[in-house]
Every structure is written in C-alpha cells, then in structure tokens.
Amino acid sequence: GQSLEQPSEVTAVEGAIVQINCTYQTSGFYGLSWYQQHDGGAPTFLSYNGLDGLEETGRFSSFLSRSDSYGYLLLQELQMKDSASYFCAVKRAGSYQLTFGKGTKLSVIP
C-alpha cells in the first residue's frame, strides 16, 4: 500500500518562511509533486522532485530525499495569498495516477 504523512495545519507570519514536510511509504516510488489548493479551487501544480535535492521556483522550493522517503515544500517571503492547502503527491513507476496526501492547511497571519 501507500501512505503519505503531512501536518494537518501550519500557521506562519506574513514575510516569514515556512516548511511543510511530507513523508511517504510507497513501493515503486518515482517522484514527489506538490500542489496548492485554495478553498473551493482546483489543485495547482507547484513543484516536482524526481531526484534527490532541491528544486527552486521563485518563492517556492521543494526538496526530496529518496533514501529517507521524505520531502518538503519551502515557502519564502510568505504573502497572505499563500493561505491555502498544500498537498504532496506521489507518483509510482509505471503508474499514471497521483496519490495525494491529506493536505496541510497553511494560514498566513499579519
């Protein structure tokens, strides 16, 4: 089977940095993606890691350690509009589907 664990809620101050962790147990692991979802909205792709290391896209970075079955999403210079749910999602080799975690609700406060 598969399992993904991420914190259910995180609160951070505007302008600060926040890290959202994701641990997974997946056979045939291929890569880890991160999606953002605002209330009532669609999941929006943020980042993907297929190899160990850091991927940077503007204020967002994502990290993967395959040996530790662990990844994180780093959001810098937080803005109020970053308040949303963030999902890690695993892709397995030879599979088309994404398996999502339960999501982390990020609240950015002034």
Partner 1 sequence: EPEVTQTPSHQVTQMGQEVILRCVPISNHLYFYWYRQILGQKVEFLVSFYNNEISEKSEIFDDQFSVERPDGSNFTLKIRSTKLEDSAMYFCASSSEGGRGTEAFFGQGTRLTVV
Angle at 7 between CA 107 and CA 50, to 5 degrees: 105
* CB 20, min distance to partner 1, A: 15
For partner 1, the binding residues (CB under 8 A) are 30-33, 35, 37, 41-45, 48-50, 87, 89, 91, 94-103
* CB 8, min distance to partner 1, A: 11
Q: State the chain's maximal CA–CA distance in angstroms.
A: 44
For partner 1, give the closer residue by CB, 48 or 70.
Answer: 48
Q: CB under 8 Å to 58, separation ≥6 — which residues?
A: none
- Where does residue 72 rank: exposed (0-12), middle (13-18), buried (19+ CB within 10 A)? buried
* CB 110, min distance to partner 1, A: 26
* CB 16, min distance to partner 1, A: 26
Residue that has been written with the tokens 């609700």 in this structure: 105
For partner 1, give the closer residue by CB, 74 or 98.
Answer: 98
For partner 1, give the closer residue by CB, 75 or 104.
Answer: 104
